Amino acid sequence: MDIPEATYHYHVKNFGREDSDAELKNIITDLFKKFHERYGYKRITRELKKLGYVINHKKVYRIMRELGLKCVKFMRKSRKYNSYKGNVGKVAKNRLSRRFNTSIPLQKLVTDITEFKCLGEEKLYLNPILDLYNGEIIAYEMKKRPTLDLVMDPL
Range of the domain at 49: 20-75
Among residues 75, 95, 119, the one where a domain terminates is: 75
116 within a domain of the structure (yes/no): yes
- DSSP alpha helix (H) spans, the chain: 5-14, 22-34, 41-50, 57-67, 148-152
- Is there a single domain that holds both residue 24 and residue 66? yes
63 within a domain of the structure (yes/no): yes
pLDDT at 121: 79
28 within a domain of the structure (yes/no): yes
pLDDT at 20: 84
Give the gyration radius of the chain's Cα atoms. 29
pLDDT at 91: 77
91 within a domain of the structure (yes/no): no
Q: Nearest-5° angle of CA 42, CA 47, CA 49?
A: 95
13 within a domain of the structure (yes/no): no
> Which backbone phi and psi does 138 adopt, to 5 degrees?
-85, -45
Counted domains in the chain: 2
d(CA 152, CA 117): 22
pLDDT at 126: 94
29-65 confidence digits (pLDDT tens):
999 999 999 999 999 999 999 999 999 999 999 999 9
Q: Which residues of the chain have pLDDT under 70?
A: 1, 74-78
pTM exceeds 0.85, yes or no: no
